[in-house]
Every structure is written in C-alpha cells, then in structure tokens.
Amino acid sequence: MTESARSASPESARSASPESARSGTNAADAAAESARSATPETARSATPETARSATPGTAHSATPETARSAPDGGNAPDANARNTNAPTADAPAPRPDTVRLGASGLQISSVILGMMSYGDPDKGAHEWSVGIDEARPFVRRAYEAGITTFDTANVYSAGSSEEITGTLLKELAPREEVQVFTKVFNRMRPGPNGAGLSRAAIMHEIDASLTRLGTDYVDLYQIHRFDPHTPVEETMEALHDVVKAGKARYIGASSMWAWQFAEMQHVAELHGWTPFVSMQDQYNLLEREEEREMHPFCAHTGVGVIPWSPLARGKLTRPWDAQGSGSRANTDEFGKTLYRQDEDANRAIVDAVQQVAEAHDVSMAQIALAWVAGKDAVSAPIVGATKEHHIDDAVAASRITLTDDEVTRLESAYTPRVPSGF
C-alpha cells in the first residue's frame, strides 16, 4: 500500500477510483454503491462530515440475520446472566463450535489459531517469534481443545512460520482434518516479482508456500494487502487459476479499503472467476472502523470476516496502566504503530472490559473475544498464543454471551479514528 493510500482520509479513499481506468471500474462503482447501501440507516442518511464523526455504534444489529448461523451476541436471557464456560465435575471443558466461513461451504473452527508467533527469530522481522520446540505445546493444546483452523503467511519469519505450521500439523492430524490458511503479497525475495500480486508473483509464491507447508493444497489462500501496481484482472485471474489447479480450495483477502475489495469481487463476478470468501481485517473494541462499510458489505455478500488482532495487541487483556510482558511488547515495531489514537477513549474502553470481566468472573481477554465473536459479520477471530492460558481464554470465550447492556457498556466510549494497519 502506498504512503498516500495509507494517509488518505476514509472519505477520500471511499470516493476515489483506482489510478488506471480498468474495464471493471464502472461496475466496481456499482458494487461499492451496493456496499454503501448496506450500511445502517443512519450512515446512509448522514453527510460525509457527520458520517466521519459518527460512532459505528449499532452496526452489529444492521447486518442480515442469515449472515451467521449462531445467535447474535446481544440475545442473553437477562441482564444478570453469567457465563457458564468454566468446566465442572460433571461437564467437560468447552470446545469451539464448527462454523462455516461466511456463506461458503468451508467448515472451520469458531476460533482460529494465528501462527505468526511461531518462526525462526533470526529470520524476517519478527524477532519475538518462538521456534518449533516452543511452539509445539501451544499448537497441540489448541488442536486438542478443538481448534482445527490455522492461519499463517509466507512473509511471517521469512517463510519459517509456514515450515513450522506444516511440520506440527502433520504430527497432530490427517491433512483433511485441519484447515490451513496462508497469504501472499509481501516481499519474499529481491528483484522483479519478488512481492505483490502479479501473476508471476502469485504463481511462484503458491508453490513456495506449499513446499514449506509440506502439503498439496491450502484451504484458504489470501492476499495480504491490495496491490495498487497490478491490474485487478490480472490478480483475480491468477488466483482463479490457483484454485482450478487444486492448489487452494478457496481464496480470501485482508485489510484494504472497502471500495477496493468491492472492485476485486466485481471483477471476479464479471469474468466468472473465483471470488473471495473471506476478509481478514483488523477488528476489536479499540478499532471498529470496519463497521462502517467493510462489514456491512461482507455480510450482504456472504463473505466471512476473520479478524486479526481481536485483543488489540494485548491492550484489551489487562488494565490500561499495566505493562505487557514478553519480548514482543518491546520489539513488535508494527504493533507500536497501532492503538495510539484517542488514548482517553481507549482507556475508558479497557476499563469497561475490566468491569464486565469482573462481573462474569472471567479474564478480560474472554470478554474482548466474546464481543468480537458475537458480531454478525464475524465467522471466527484469529488469536495468537505464547502462553497456555491464551488458548484456554480463546476457547472459553466462545461460550460467553454478552447482554445488550454489556455490549453498550463496552462500545459507548468509542470515538472515530483513522483506519490503521494497511
């Protein structure tokens, strides 16, 4: 993503068309208009100025009921309800449900284990990552707890995350019993076609990823970001060919502007190519801008949302003034750029998470994850784990139902902010 794209305001990005006038541009505008018309009534009737200043608020109730098979997170029987996630002598520990990824036929676990934390710390940009021997107990614990879906990327620790993912999953289960997701876009080698979403890059990188993963196919092949330097038609046809070659079962996308995603989907539809079935975007109580356009569009078109950073890099798991532990808190340079807008509002939100968690007698992480999972557009959150309780919290959160009053309490302090992370 170019610097100008990152710094553009949401309004200017939504109203802009791609730099080059592609053949699908007019139709993409229609698709983008459809996305805008799917937003809540207040967003449709608002002027650009008021839309930017409005809080997403009730976006969770504006999506179609058919977007998720699970009930909405706000339908608890009474305001004093408590979760029943803790195992008793007569009840087994909770396990994640199996859900469908959006309107697709792909079944995944309702919690996805993110594999970015596992890799060679001497490779790539994640010096806080842990190697295979340290990763093994976490991946095994996740699988034994019922998590069957694992998300990685070619760029994580320069490919070593994919290697660890493939090796550990082979130790645990037959290939058909797990769902393996990976991504393409970021630079993997110097020189031409070493990054981006050109046909040359995609065809090379899918084979490289399959080799590192030690498998013949991935269940979901995702573009890590939008590539402004490659025609959308070229990217979508290449991804379609990857699917038709049997190297990926489905394709998905990650953080970008809603109009860009709408254009890519329309180009696929126009040519009869494989469309995206998922959107992996940043979504949590401290970053809710996706409720304005992306999530209504996804719910309206049957695309499953699988959010990254549902715990806001750990900020939603502890009191605001508490410091994060571990090497990642000090060395995650990308993470340091996130959640720095309106810290007064962020503090109030974190305080609300703490209060609701105390009322439920559970961890703050469970409440923050339960809020994300309760949204209609969301299929499953992606969680990382470098401590055993991270997995336990993620699984337990799938059994927590928040009341309408609790949801309002968690959301009320949110203020608009510039989307970040892409």
Q: pLDDT tens per residue, the chain (422 residues)? A: 434 433 443 334 333 443 443 344 444 444 444 443 443 333 333 333 343 344 564 444 444 333 333 333 333 333 333 343 444 445 566 678 899 999 999 999 999 999 999 999 988 787 879 999 999 999 999 999 999 999 999 999 999 999 999 999 999 999 999 999 999 999 999 999 999 999 999 999 999 999 999 999 999 999 999 999 999 999 999 999 999 999 999 999 999 999 999 999 999 999 999 999 999 999 999 999 999 999 999 999 999 999 999 999 899 999 998 866 555 555 556 555 666 778 899 999 999 999 999 999 999 999 999 999 999 999 999 999 999 899 999 999 989 999 999 999 999 999 999 888 77
Closest CA to 278 of 152, 28, 102: 102
H or E stretch including 278? strand 276-280
Bridge partners, 149 (sequence order): 112, 179
Distances from the Cα of 9 to the Cα of 35, 225, 420, angstroms: 18, 18, 11
Residue 142, φ and ψ in degrees, nearest 5 = -60, -50
In this structure, are residues 283 and 87 in contact, taking their beta carbons and an 8 Å threshold?
no
Residues whose CB falls within 8 Å of the CB of residue 308, separated by 6 or more in sequence, listed in order: 114, 254, 255, 280, 281, 282, 283, 382
Closest CA to 36 of 28, 120, 90: 28
Q: How far apart are CA 16 and CA 29, in angstroms?
A: 10
| 283 catalytic residue (yes or no) | no
Structure tokens that stand for 163 in this block: 């290697």
Q: How far apart are CA 271 and CA 262, in angstroms?
A: 14
Structure tokens that stand for 93 in this block: 């520990």
In eight-state DSSP terms, residue 308 is B
Bridge partners, 325 (sequence order): none
Structure tokens that stand for 390 in this block: 């991270």
In this structure, are residues 211 and 247 in contact, taking their beta carbons and an 8 Å threshold?
no
Residue among 156, 283, 339, 414 flagged as catalytic: 156
Residues whose CB falls within 8 Å of the CB of residue 77, separated by 6 or more in sequence, listed in order: none
In this structure, are residues 261 and 223 in contact, taking their beta carbons and an 8 Å threshold?
no
